[in-house]
Structure 1
Amino acid sequence: MKNTLYPLKFHPILKDKIWGGEKLKTLLNKDSKLPNIGESWEISDVDGDTSIVSNGTLENQSLKHVLSSYKADVLGEKIYERFGNKFPLLIKFIDAKEDLSIQLHPNDELAAKRHNSFGKTEMWYVMQADKDANLIVDFNQPMTKELYLEHLDKHSLTEILNFDKVKTGDAYFIEVGRVHAIGAGVLLAEIQQTSDITYRIYDWDRTDADGNSRELHTDLAIDAIGFDMPDNFRVSYDQEANHSNKMVSCPYFTTNYVKVNTTLERENTYDSFMIYICVEGEAELKTATHSERIKKGETILIPAALKTFQIVAKDATLLEVYV
């Protein structure tokens, strides 16, 4: 007999990165001896990096095992029909002590053809930013393939990139094909399709400890870059307390901003799992049979079968995600 489903928490999967830092440990309390933690994968069904449940009766079970056992009860009927036993989203925290590479992601069609993968549409929510920290998103002028290649050849790509100074609470929607990079000094939450396909086009001429440069994907990227995309990547949103304020809604996910300072009754009418990412404070999520706390830097998955629950907090800021 299967156990009753409940809000699921997972062990973070921590990634050492050449550009990573200390904030995931110092600000988000991630426990690691890695020197440069760049990423904490909070919920992942990427092959080789599958999340493991950290609470309740399903503790130590993999997300893959939970999905194969509970199917639509976790995902929702429409999502299970679409994805089967594959979790469609990847949730991360990212700490950039140094600039990340200039990169972009292919769309579903290219990713499936070349890599047997989904594409990688994503969004960012800035949790903390050092003074004068930037995100790089798109170009600073009308762009053509020819002009881009000219600057790439002259090693002057940064001259045509758009640098946005950011602060806590800023949000960005990064569509497939859009050139982007997280700048040094930024800590953010990332919501994306389940994909680890990245085309790196410039890496600041840096090398690793052995003097090796990281691989660039110049040829693959050319067909994937959107050279004439609309200037719609900055996300504006309301911050009404105790209400789900729409931030991003696309075919792959919806993300809402929820600031809670009371007991908030939630009803899942979406035929989808729901994810809560705590970006400030702490909150308690209560179902009829279970109660789980999440604090800043933690993420929780509410299976689709749990239709009603409460969020109780004195002062918490959550990102609410569903498909």
Structure 2
Amino acid sequence: MELYPLLFTPILKDRIWGGTKLKTDLGKDIPTQTTGESWELSAVDGDVSVVSNGAYEGKALTELIETYPDALLGEKVHKQFGSKFPLLFKFLDAQQDLSIQVHPDDELAKKRHNSFGKTEMWYVMQADEGARIIVGFKEKSSPEEYVEHLDNKNLIEILNEVEVKKGDVFFLETGTIHAIGAGIVIAEIQQTSDITYRIYDWDRVDANGNSRELHVEQALDAMNYETTDTKKEYTNVINTANVMVDCPYFTTSYYPLTGEATEEKDGHSFNVYICTEGEYTFIAGGKEHQFKKGDTILVPAALKNYTLKGDATLLEICIKE
């Protein structure tokens, strides 16, 4: 395999709650004024990312994995997940509140949808004054209390609302009831899954007067009714990977780059870098590759030694366990 950092063509999604910040903040060529998501790196059926740079330009991610599984994924990751790319990377622009929702765990998702579950994390890239998210219950709840409040249209009264700012990190295990609030741009790292149980959508309708499908019954046994501690604190040591979230599905680190940093990896896992601020140069094999805010790159596992140079804020993601 030719080893270099792979960049992909964004898969842009129109959403009822979307806006224009993916263009104004991240430089994406959005097709509508309500573009809510940019899928940066995906192997979801029907939404497979295609390489946009270098020798493999035009090649689908799935095709490269089939051809070079160990070199791309890492032998350890390939053994664990087979030829399925295990993670999905997105940017989200919430001009309006997203629906209140929950994701099933691996066991339930496999049984119902033959899919992975959807453990995810959020890194807040931008937040308007007073913007907030919903994560979990204020106090321990129950299916009965949850349904009663849902029926009475006052579900929000028992949910935990948290005001957010740029740089905040939240880790959402499966079963955590949640919603991204209006006025927030988020980088999302999650398992490869598009399974969402939508519980409440603020009674809104689309341009044709139609409301979106809800999955109230399916959500009942997918929900964690305990309180959860979702916010993660992290260190800020320059030119190094400051771990924010470390779970069986992914390890995500905050990587503030100032000047130059050399990386030596063990080759067990691919690495992904999301640039949330600034710009940088990726140097490997005597070649330089330029990246900027809004770029998400996949570094093949077999590319073990490289240098990062510039002034940028990066998120580094790999699979450690």
Give the TM interval when normalised to the shorter protein.
over 0.9
Q: Which consecutive residues of structure 1, in runs of 5 or more, have no partner in the other structure?
A: none
Contact 2:18 2:34 in 1 (8 A): yes
What is the match of residue 98 of structure 2? 100
Contact 1:7 1:290 in 2 (8 A): no
Report the AA paired with residue 118 of structure 2. K
1:149 is displaced (CA, Å) by 1.3
Aligned partner of 1:321 among 300, 317, 321: 317
What is the match of residue 254 of structure 2? 257
1:143 is displaced (CA, Å) by 1.0
**For 1:196 and 1:267, how far apart are their aligned partners in 2?**
33
Aligned partner of 1:312 among 297, 309, 320: 309
Please state if 1:207 is matched with 2:205. Answer: yes
What is the match of residue 90 of structure 1? 88
1:240 is displaced (CA, Å) by 1.0
**For 1:289 and 1:253, how far apart are their aligned partners in 2?**
30
**For 1:270 and 1:167, how far apart are their aligned partners in 2?**
35
**For 2:31 and 2:274, how far apart are their aligned partners in 1?**
24
Q: Deviations over 1:152-210 (max 9, x none)?
A: 11111011111110000000001000000000000010000000000000000000111
Contact 2:123 2:188 in 1 (8 A): yes
1:33 is displaced (CA, Å) by 2.7
Aligned partner of 1:131 among 109, 129, 136: 129
1:27 is displaced (CA, Å) by 0.5
Aligned partner of 1:110 among 96, 105, 108: 108
**For 1:242 and 1:35, how far apart are their aligned partners in 2?**
37
1:81 is displaced (CA, Å) by 1.0
Aligned partner of 1:299 among 279, 288, 296: 296
**For 2:102 and 2:80, how far apart are their aligned partners in 1?**
25
Report the AA paired with residue 236 of structure 1. E
Q: State how 1:117-196 maps to structure 2 within 5 Å.
A: 117-196=115-194
**For 1:161 and 1:94, how far apart are their aligned partners in 2?**
22
Aligned positions, number: 319
Higher deviation after alignment, 26-35 or 68-77: 26-35
Aligned residue for 1:117, secondary structure, equals coil
Contact 2:172 2:230 in 1 (8 A): yes
Percent identity, aligned pairs only, is: 56
1:4 is displaced (CA, Å) by 1.5
1:215 is displaced (CA, Å) by 0.5
Provide runs of 4+ in structure 1 moved above 3 Å: none
Report the AA paired with residue 249 of structure 1. D
Report the AA paired with residue 216 of structure 2. T
Please state if 1:37 is matched with 2:15. Answer: no
Contact 2:22 2:30 in 1 (8 A): no
Q: Deviations over 1:40-66 (max 9, x none)?
A: 000000000000000001000000111
1:289 is displaced (CA, Å) by 4.2
Contact 1:102 1:181 in 2 (8 A): yes
Contact 2:137 2:226 in 1 (8 A): no
Q: Deviations over 1:271-306 (max 9, x none)?
A: 000000000101111111432221111100100000
1:228 is displaced (CA, Å) by 1.1
**For 2:231 and 2:278, how far apart are their aligned partners in 1?**
25
Report the AA paired with residue 47 of structure 1. D
**For 1:56 and 1:40, how far apart are their aligned partners in 2?**
21
Report the AA paired with residue 73 of structure 1. A
What is the match of residue 232 of structure 1? 229
Report the AA paired with residue 69 of structure 1. T
**For 1:93 and 1:267, how far apart are their aligned partners in 2?**
28
Contact 1:88 1:194 in 2 (8 A): yes
What is the match of residue 240 of structure 2? 243
C-alpha RMSD over aligned residues: 0.9
1:270 is displaced (CA, Å) by 5.5
Report the AA paired with residue 120 of structure 2. E
With the length of structure 2 as denominator, give the TM-score of the two structures: 0.98
Contact 2:267 2:302 in 1 (8 A): no
Aligned residue for 1:261, secondary structure, equals strand
Contact 2:274 2:316 in 1 (8 A): yes
What is the match of residue 70 of structure 2? 72
Report the AA paired with residue 92 of structure 1. K
Aligned partner of 1:280 among 277, 282, 289: 277
With the length of structure 1 as denominator, give the TM-score of the two structures: 0.97
Report the AA paired with residue 151 of structure 2. D
